[in-house]
Amino acid sequence: MSSFLPEPPFRHDQSSRIGVLLVNLGTPAAPTSAAIRPYLRQFLSDPRVVEIPKAAWWIILNTFILPFRPKKTAVKYASVWMSEGSPLKVWTEKQSKLVKGWLGEQGHKEVLVDYAMRYGQPSIAAQMDKLKAAGCEKLLILPLYPQYSSSTSATVVDEVSRVMAGYRNQPALRTVRSFHDDEGYIKALAGRVREYWQTKGRGNHLLMSFHGVPRYTLDKGDPYHCYCRKTGRLLAEELDLAESEYTVAFQSRFGRAEWLQPYVTATLKQLGKANTGRLDVICPGFVADCLETLEEIAIEGKQDYLQAGGKDYHFIPCLNDSPLWIDALTALTKKELSGWLLTDNTAIDNTQLCTLSRAQALGAQN
Ligand SMILES: C=CC1=C(C)c2cc3[nH]c(cc4nc(cc5[nH]c(cc1n2)c(C)c5CCC(=O)O)C(CCC(=O)O)=C4C)c(C)c3C=C
Ligand SMILES: [Fe+2]
Ligand SMILES: [Fe+2]
């Protein structure tokens, strides 16, 4: 028997559309251990995320992590939960609505934009099905991780490929690999910092905190570390910062293995002890605020810094729905859709010119 899914009958009257799927990591449906456990199980069972032999990891996960971690994390999630839900979901959903609206305003009504989560809901499979059912024969997958890594963007592509493999009527597919040095993204980050400085004053030092990954992934050729460093350098250049005015560090270490260094906790203690005075902190690797920025950096990070002797600590919010970022994300989407958009000038003009001159030529013959 065929393993390919049945498709609805081909519709001759439906015009072809383009689907854009923004994909973020995922988040539990509620700040409770009951909701966190299945989310963590799915997330931490991904071999791209934890590269330990399957059987050994299964025992560790089910004996030492899943029975305890959800309860501890629930308290942290509760401290940052918004009235509309998890911050990661709230901001990601808003970003997809804004990009759809801004593309529509620019005349690209054939483009449908939605979002999915790699772990939890809405799933990549459900959202790809939805876009396909709405007539999308072309699909752009945009993982909302500026810095490519095997544990982020690649696992999104794995899941998209798995879903594609079940389709009889596959859409054309494009994926965005990394946008760590995209001009619009860097300018949006710089704009976020400048806007903060204008309203709240400016600190003596800027800490750029990126999510960490295990050190062995760098040794095995994952470019994530280099991409984070490059984003940091470009942001510093855009803000005219000297090397002594900023630090790049890595947060959210998980487990006992070595992760990318310097660790953010050690850096905060060092900066606090060194009489830095006021410290500003931004998380450029997260385009939406989430547990890791609002709890780990804005709350815990502040405690670490002040306890070490730091005087004043300011967390600069992530890009979220800032207009410069929505502009950048819309521009990035359009760049990646180049040649697909109906109003793509070069493509349309060429066809029209060609059709016109051919029609004229035929007209001249008759
Ligand atoms: C921004 C990129 C991210 C990378 C790289 C990343 C790697 C990575 N993460 C873990 C373990 C956990 N991460 C958790 C939360 C979390 N991680 C990211 C992003 C990256 N992770 C985000 C956006 C979030 C927040 C989700 C939210 O709901 O707000 C968690 C869950 C929280 C907790 O229990 O601490 C874990 C666990 C590993 C092992 C890893 C390795 C490559
Ligand atoms: Fe590097
Ligand atoms: Fe993480």
Best residue among 24, 25, 46, 61 to mutate for probing ligand 1, ranked by most atoms within 8 Å of CB: 25
Q: What distance in angstroms lies between residue 219's CA and the mean position of ligand 2's atoms?
A: 10
Per the CB < 8 A criterion, the answer to whether 41 and 119 are in contact is: no
Domain-embedded: residue 346: no
Q: Which ligand is nearest to the CA of 147?
A: 1
Percent of the chain exceeding pLDDT 90 equals 89
**Residues 21, 22, 26, 28: is their CA dihedral positive or negative?**
negative
Q: What is the mean pLDDT of the chain?
A: 93
202: containing domain: 183-315
Q: pLDDT category, 9, cuts 50, 70, 90?
A: confident
User: What b/e sequence results for 316-334 when a residue is b if at least 16 CB atoms lie within 10 Å of its CB, and e otherwise?
Assistant: bbbbbebebbbbbbbebbb
> Which comes out higher in pLDDT, residue 363 or 121?
121
pLDDT per residue as tens digits for the range 196-233: 999 999 999 999 999 999 999 999 999 999 999 999 99
Query: At a CB cut-off of 8 Å and minimum separation 6, what does 326 contact?
Result: 95, 98, 99, 102
pLDDT, residue 14, reads: 80
pLDDT, residue 4, reads: 87
Q: What distance in angstroms lies between residue 27's CA and the mean position of ligand 3's atoms?
A: 11
| pLDDT exceeds 80 at position 177 | yes
pLDDT per residue as tens digits for the range 90-107: 999 999 999 999 999 999
| pLDDT exceeds 90 at position 189 | yes
Q: In Å, how far are 7, 144, 182, 237, 319 from 196, measured between CA atoms?
A: 50, 23, 22, 17, 12
Q: What distance in angstroms lies between residue 126's CA and the mean position of ligand 3's atoms?
A: 23
Q: Residue 232, Cα to own-chain centre: how many angstroms?
A: 17
pLDDT per residue as tens digits for the range 299-336: 999 999 999 999 999 999 999 999 999 999 999 999 99
Q: Which residues line ligand 1 (CB under 6 A)?
A: 25, 27, 49-50, 69, 73, 86, 88, 145, 149, 151-152, 211, 213, 252, 254, 285-286, 290-292
Domain-embedded: residue 253: yes
Q: How many other CB atoms are there within 10 angstroms of residue 314's CB atom? A: 18
User: Tokens 């929505």 — which residue?
Assistant: 326
Best residue among 211, 216, 224 to mutate for probing ligand 1, ranked by most atoms within 8 Å of CB: 211
Q: pLDDT category, 6, cuts 50, 70, 90?
A: confident
pLDDT, residue 87, reads: 98
Domain-embedded: residue 303: yes
Amino acid in the structure at residue 306: L
Tally of domains in the chain: 1
| pLDDT exceeds 50 at position 239 | yes
Domain-embedded: residue 17: no
**ipTM score over 0.90, yes or no:** yes
CATH of residue 287's domain is 3.40.50.1400
